[in-house]
Amino acid sequence: MFENLAEVEDRFDELEQKLSDPELMNNIKEYREVAKAHSDMSRIVAKWREYKTAREQLKETEALLSAKLDPDMQNLAQMELESLKELITTQEDELRIMLLPSDPNDDKDVILEVRAGTGGEEAALFAAELLRMYIRYAERMHWQTDIMNSVDTGIGGYREAVISIKGKGAYSRLKFEGGVHRVQRVPATESSGRVHTSAATVSVLPEADEIDVQINNDDIHIDTYRSAGAGGQNVQKNETAIRIVHKPSGITVTCQDERSQLQNKLRAMTMLRTLLYEREVVSKRNEVDAVKRSMVGSGDRSEKSRTYNYPQNRVTDHRINLDIYNLPGIMDGDLDDLINHLIAFDQAEILKGQGQ
């Protein structure tokens, strides 16, 4: 399985030599391409070199054991041999994971949508808490977030909200967050203390750019309208909100959270490109339903990918049968442990499919 890694290492050395050439800086585009390729290879090359070193040490230790040694040295060499074997097994597993086919969207930024499902105002409040959870996680990861569009309920909840998340590895870390998220707790408005179950849906899409999707101006219809406000001085007097309809697909996007019509239009076009890119990817995979619909379902209580149980301080991811008893931390954006389990499960499934 590792036959090609020697060639990867040679290519890495070539790129490293090229980066040290001052002439390369005269061509910024080429420099960025070389630097990115070098960076992409660095982790696997470093692990490959560690693996080769461990293999050499194993051979030396085996040779040492075959020689006549006093009992103390023999025991030390045997312990070293067992330790190296364990290390090599671990490194081989890590290399296999690194060699798995990468998702071409992993390096993309993210458009994440949270939508209230079954449960009325409690579902809208939970949707707002999920949105905050992802924003807090993005802050921990030093990613940039921006609310692109939102429809609030006026008392702290969201019927729906769309945010842009930009940063290294955003999609690779967040792509398994899509699905129906259920909450089980006593709502603030519940006087009898009875636990209610509500739901919100999360959709995670790789953000598409103009290179991914080109849109013909004749294929879109743009409307402008006044942004919704809280009343008083906050009501927009100008038509800054944007609604774009893509006529061939019927897709409609809206954006009203920016102050200017131009900014809202730019954001709406980004959302439209992302949805069209999603549709194109789905088509290539011959899926019947759009990824987003299959990801989020209907938002009914009976559908679930994850449950947040407040009385038990428990978060359960039903896809991998994982329970984590740290609900306040997770709601505050401490998602790494949960996400790492999801990624590990996905990698194990791929390896299983490859017969590893």
Cβ atoms of 228 and 152 within 8 Å: the answer is: no
In what side-by-side order are the strands of the sheet with 220-225?
A: 220-225, 241-246, 251-255
Enter the tokens of residue 340: 């790492």
Range of the domain at 19: 5-98
Contacts of 246 (CB under 8 A, 6+ apart): 215, 219, 220, 252, 272, 276
Whether 202 and 153 map to the same domain: the answer is yes
Give, for all 356 residues of the chain, the pLDDT tens digit.
677 888 889 999 999 999 998 888 888 888 888 898 898 889 889 999 999 999 999 999 998 888 877 888 888 889 999 999 999 999 988 888 788 777 778 888 999 999 999 888 999 999 999 999 999 999 999 999 999 888 888 888 999 999 999 998 899 999 999 999 999 999 877 777 889 999 999 999 888 765 567 788 888 898 888 766 544 444 444 567 889 999 988 899 888 877 788 888 888 888 888 888 877 766 655 443 444 444 544 444 445 799 999 999 999 999 999 999 999 999 999 999 999 999 888 888 877 766 55
Domain boundary among 253, 284, 315: 284
Whether 59 and 184 map to the same domain: the answer is no
Instruction: Please state the domain count of the chain.
Output: 3
Whether 196 and 226 map to the same domain: the answer is no
The CATH number covering residue 249 comes to: 3.30.160.20
Whether 247 and 305 map to the same domain: the answer is no
